[in-house]
């Protein structure tokens, strides 16, 4: 129902460069200034009152909103086809913020068993302290979500392209199951980026990113963002009272009634950032905005390089298996062609012959690929999840999450493909 | 007229043509959405006349409250409807009678039959939108809240009065 004729009129690359950023009204500065300030002056007491009451627009304090950060918010929202977005300090903060808007003690949600290990720990352990209770579900059969639903379920959470297993989620039927139950589908789209996949087009209601990865793209700034499609009707049942009932901290204001399809985004700032405090720094927003300008170019090269490396590894004598959805042999290839038609991303795993020890040796033997716990960098990265990112999980959880003892994860960068392949080849020979 | 989607140009020309708005369903309670919208629009230089039979004779944000549109003695450019979709029908007919040029129905309010009557009487119609949100979207302020405004421009924004 909303006026989105204009965004549809601009191409993805145009939005990646321009959305949210106009020349600075005061100076005419063409790139987005870094508004490195904690607070903003009020014109008078009445102006301050209007701002605190959420009756007018403007900046108060950078914990809530900041002009550099809001450019990033609009830009990611425009790329995902969302109504609005809330940026925050990290991908984990984004997950906390996404749920904080509507969860309450005793509520439950369904989440894929094949999530990034850090998310499994956050949901399974730390969320429990708020009495938010996760039920993990094998996503490979979407019907598993329907079977696991309970009356207390408030959401379904999946990753479009999972880290690290190369699992592609069949978003469309999962969205239908969520909507039939009157709950939103939350999709982490970090590994795909909006260039490869736009979950809202497949029915997702909320999209989450660690902007630390491909959006910022250069391994230099932490961040997260929660994008709202604006399409979910929070008032369709009584499950989402924090958005539909009077909010005491704002003198009885009802967010959904007052702000309509902006309610979730307004609440993300006015309740989420206000009380959780996980704000993104303006400098990080600036670096991320700059990174996004080249997102399309980088993702093309990331995907081309990743496919070349995956094909090389598939034929390598030291390699047991390769889990890259871009390979025709992969079980998720058909889903990848549907949801990620421009490429299956650049993060994937493979199994090295010789198990845990060979994995450690391989990682330590690389000279060009960096051994570190990030992904979505211009640089190629390698890690052995069982000894690092996924070591907090039980071995059983590691295997379910695609991070068993022989698994090596790659995040292929945008260097010359031949150099990445040569480095992996020499390190694999050392490991063997 | 497609009432599922309005061009930016259509909304801009409406907001630029309006000086006086009669707000039907304006609430005297400061935490109600209509109060937000009235206060914001006043700040942008619009004259907003509140209409609410239950608060008739009272004052909201410095303006006397009228019981109905017919009671207003001065010209009204736009009638902004903060009532449910069904109640909007009779208000639209009253808006036509008093010679308003625009009927604007708020977020969640849509009455296609009434819109058709208004359009055949020469009025322009907007439904299921908020003038506060649209004004701020078109003038760059909504972007301050992380909203996807759909506006892309290489021109320096003029500062809008608050």
> With contacts defined as CB-CB under 8 Å, which chain B residues touch A5?
5, 7-8, 150
Q: Is residue B91 part of a domain?
A: yes
Q: Where are the alpha helices (DSSP H) in B18-104?
A: 33-43, 85-97
* Partner-chain contact B148 A257, CB within 8 Å: no
Work out the minimum CA distance from A429 to partner chain B, whole angstroms.
Answer: 50
Work out the minimum CA distance from B109 to partner chain A, whole angstroms.
Answer: 11
Q: Is residue B65 part of a domain?
A: yes
Q: How far is CA B100 from CA B2, B49, B94, B124, in A?
A: 21, 13, 9, 9
Q: Which of residues 19-48 of B touch A (CB under 8 A)?
A: 30-31, 33, 35-36, 39-40, 43
CATH code for residues A12-291: 3.40.640.10
- Specify the pLDDT at position B159: 59
pLDDT winner (highest mean) among A5-9, B7-11, B141-145: B7-11
Is A224 strand, coil or helix? strand
* Partner-chain contact B30 A22, CB within 8 Å: no
- The number of domains in chain B is 1
Q: How far is CA B99 from CA B22, B23, B70, B75, in A?
A: 12, 15, 10, 8
A82 part of contact set with chain B, CB < 8 Å: yes
Residue B121 belongs to domain spanning: 8-145
The answer to whether B152 and B137 are in contact (CB under 8 A) is no
A58, A77, A262 ranked by CB distance to B144: nearest: A58
ipTM of predicted complex: 0.85
B43 DSSP β-pair partners: none
pLDDT one-digit tens code per residue, B20-65:
999 999 999 988 889 989 999 999 999 999 999 999 999 999 999 9
Is A205 strand, coil or helix? coil
Q: Is residue B61 part of a domain?
A: yes
Instruction: Supply the CATH number for residue B139's domain.
Output: 3.40.50.720
Distance CA A140, CA A112 (A): 9
- Specify the pLDDT at position B160: 55
Q: Which of residues 121-140 of B touch A (CB under 8 A)?
A: 128-130, 133-134, 136, 140
Confidence band (pLDDT; 50, 70, 90) for B162?
Answer: very low
Q: Is residue B37 part of a domain?
A: yes
Give the CA dihedral A191, A192, A195, A201, nearest 10 degrees: -130
Average pLDDT of the residues in B76-98: 97
Average pLDDT of the residues in B76-94: 97
> With contacts defined as CB-CB under 8 Å, which chain A residues touch B141?
57-58
> With contacts defined as CB-CB under 8 Å, which chain B residues touch A24?
156
Distance CA B41, CA B48 (A): 7
Q: And the tokens for B92?
A: 């639209």
Residue B76's CB is within 10 A of a number of other CB atoms, namely 22
B40, B133, B143 ranked by CB distance to A70: nearest: B143
- Specify the pLDDT at position A432: 81
* Partner-chain contact B147 A262, CB within 8 Å: yes
A52 part of contact set with chain B, CB < 8 Å: no
- Specify the pLDDT at position B144: 86
> With contacts defined as CB-CB under 8 Å, which chain A residues touch B39?
50, 55-56
Work out the minimum CA distance from A250 to partner chain B, whole angstroms.
Answer: 8
CA triple B129-B130-B135, angle to 5 deg? 115
> With contacts defined as CB-CB under 8 Å, which chain A residues touch B30?
53, 251
Residue A238 neighbours by CB under 8 Å, 6+ apart: A244
Distance CA B48, CA B66 (A): 12
The residue of chain B nearest to residue A261, with distances taken between CA atoms, is B107
A53, A82, A250 ranked by CB distance to B148: nearest: A82
Residue A426's CB is within 10 A of a number of other CB atoms, namely 14
Percentage of chain A surpassing pLDDT 70? 98
B105 DSSP β-pair partners: B81
Average pLDDT of the residues in B123-143: 92
> Among B43, B135, B145, which would you mutate to test the A interface (most chain A Cβ atoms within 10 Å of its Cβ)?
B145
CB pairs under 8 A between A and B: 132
Work out the minimum CA distance from B143 to partner chain A, whole angstroms.
Answer: 7
> Among B33, B148, B153, which would you mutate to test the A interface (most chain A Cβ atoms within 10 Å of its Cβ)?
B148
Say which CATH topology domain A295-431 has: 3.90.1150
What are the domain boundaries of chain A? Answer: 12-291, 295-431
The answer to whether B147 and A16 are in contact (CB under 8 A) is no
Counting as low any pLDDT under 70, the low residues of chain A are 1-8
A84 part of contact set with chain B, CB < 8 Å: yes
């Amino acid at each position: 129902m909303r006026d989105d004729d204009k965004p549809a009129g601009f191409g993805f690359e145009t939005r990646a460069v321009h959305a949210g950023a106009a020349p600075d009204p005061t100076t005419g500065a063409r790139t987005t200034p870094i508004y490195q300030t904690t607070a903003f002056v009020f014109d008078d007491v009445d102006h301050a009152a209007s701002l605190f009451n959420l009756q007018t627009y403007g900046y108060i304090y950078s914990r809530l909103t900041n002009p550099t950060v809001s450019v990033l918010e609009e830009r990611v929202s425009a790329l995902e086809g969302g109504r609005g977005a809330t940026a925050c300090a990290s991908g984990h903060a984004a997950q906390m913020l996404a749920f904080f808007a509507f969860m309450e003690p005793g509520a439950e949600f369904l989440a894929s068993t094949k999530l990034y290990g850090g998310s499994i720990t956050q949901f399974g352990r730390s969320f429990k302290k708020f009495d938010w209770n996760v039920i993990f579900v094998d996503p490979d059969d979407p019907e598993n979500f329907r079977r696991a639903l309970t009356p207390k379920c408030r959401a379904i959470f999946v990753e479009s392209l999972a880290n690290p297993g190369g699992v592609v989620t069949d978003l469309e039927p999962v969205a239908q199951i969520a909507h039939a139950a009157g709950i939103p589908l939350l999709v982490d789209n970090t590994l795909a980026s909006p260039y490869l996949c736009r979950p809202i087009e497949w029915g997702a209601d909320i999209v989450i990113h660690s902007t630390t990865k491909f959006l910022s793209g250069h391994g230099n700034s932490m961040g997260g963002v929660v994008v709202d499609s604006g399409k979910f009707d929070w008032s369709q049942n009584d499950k989402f009272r924090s958005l539909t009932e009077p909010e005491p901290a704002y003198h009885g204001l009802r967010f959904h009634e007052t702000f309509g399809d902006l309610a979730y985004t307004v609440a993300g700032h006015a309740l989420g950032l206000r009380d959780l405090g996980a704000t993104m720094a303006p400098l990080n927003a600036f670096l991320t905005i700059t990174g996004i300008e080249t997102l399309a170019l980088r993702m093309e090269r990331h995907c081309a390089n990743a496919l070349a490396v995956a094909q090389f590894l598939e034929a390598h004598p030291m390699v047991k298996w390769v889990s890259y959805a871009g390979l025709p042999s992969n079980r998720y290839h058909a889903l990848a062609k549907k949801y990620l038609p421009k490429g299956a991303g650049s993060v994937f795993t493979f199994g090295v012959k010789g198990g845990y020890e060979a994995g450690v040796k391989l990682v330590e033997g690389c000279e060009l690929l960096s051994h570190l716990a990030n992904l979505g960098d211009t640089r190629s990265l390698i890690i052995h999840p069982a000894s690092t990112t996924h070591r907090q999980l039980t071995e059983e959880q590691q295997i379910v999450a695609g991070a068993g003892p022989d698994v090596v994860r790659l995040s292929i960068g945008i260097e010359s493909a031949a150099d990445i392949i040569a480095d992996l080849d020499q390190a694999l020979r050392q490991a063997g | 007229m497609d009432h599922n989607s309005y061009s930016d140009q259509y909304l801009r020309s409406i907001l630029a043509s309006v000086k006086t708005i009669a707000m039907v369903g304006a609430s005297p309670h400061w935490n109600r959405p209509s109060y937000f919208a009235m206060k914001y629009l006043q700040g942008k230089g619009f004259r907003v006349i509140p209409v609410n039979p239950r608060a008739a004779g009272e004052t909201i944000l410095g303006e006397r409250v009228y019981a109905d549109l017919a009671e207003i003695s001065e010209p009204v450019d736009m009638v902004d409807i903060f009532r449910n979709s069904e109640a909007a029908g009779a208000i639209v007919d009253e808006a036509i009678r008093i010679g308003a040029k625009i009927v604007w129905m708020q977020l969640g309010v849509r009455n296609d039959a009434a819109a058709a009557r208004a359009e055949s009487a020469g009025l322009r119609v907007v439904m299921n939108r908020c003038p506060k949100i649209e004004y701020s979207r078109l003038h760059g302020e909504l972007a301050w809240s992380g909203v996807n405004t759909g506006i892309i421009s290489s021109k320096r924004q003029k500062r809008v009065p608050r």
